[in-house]
Structure 1
């Protein structure tokens, strides 16, 4: 009799605690797809959420700037998080399926305006607002970039020929001889439209 009473008490306690345990918050369909630029604990990989990363979006998007996206986001997801591409964006020139990394940049190109290397001057730079497109430049055009000599320019072209287009400027880190410091010096002079 005592065993039966203990069994009933244990089952009742199990049902009580099972029904009253905290439940995760419900998300309404109206909140799905909303992108917040303000980081929360969940954005940073909190216990209830997926890991999120911050990416810089520039060029022909509705809201250029910093966006938070899921850690497994692709270039297309980042563009959507920035409000979508403008009507004159050249989306065919970028790989929308390419993965993005935390701290990375996605540049959405606009209409072509002529040569990416300027008007034939000796060097290009940030003041001219013309950066060299590393996906189209020849090794001779790359040599005009401050900090790139003939050897690194040739390595960039060879890497591109062997592996395909660069999706973000940070992909230059895969080229032998280009490290973080060299890349930092090149950022103002090169682009991946």
Structure 2
């Protein structure tokens, strides 16, 4: 068999097949590179998100605050904490509750805010309202007939006129991100709480 003649006869087919193979290879290579670039970009975005989250958590946990722990705890007094603490963590700083403590009136899951008074009652002690309140700067207890913006739960906030679940969640989010309300007028800093809404609520809220 004359291979040279055979090659000449089918050389155009050979060239065509070779070109197809080259084109297919280039296309696959391009798709492979694109896929790798996409995966790298997604990995970079994920890493950036993780770093940002950790930075935010670190910044939040570094915010110093002070709480005054009273009542049926082993070591009553003022303690230094941070913005990520709950009432339970603060009570542990005071040595935990004493044997005579009546813990059913204490919300241990509540987030701690600066200048907060945490009061743990004794068994048999009459309790008229929440046992943990934000103290004013002069040390006097706030009016318990009003809703405390820094202490009220989501359901308690919804007892205010015109405050539904979404607005109650916005109030809680604001106080957690800003270390609590400094004055009741800060309520107007939240989207959806304009002057008219504030006027309806100002006599019903406190710090």
TM-score range relative to shorter protein: 0.3 to 0.5
User: What TM-score comes out, normalization by structure 1 length?
Assistant: 0.39
User: What TM-score comes out, normalization by structure 2 length?
Assistant: 0.36
Higher relative contact order (Cα pairs below 8 Å, separated by 6+ residues): 1
Higher helix share: 2
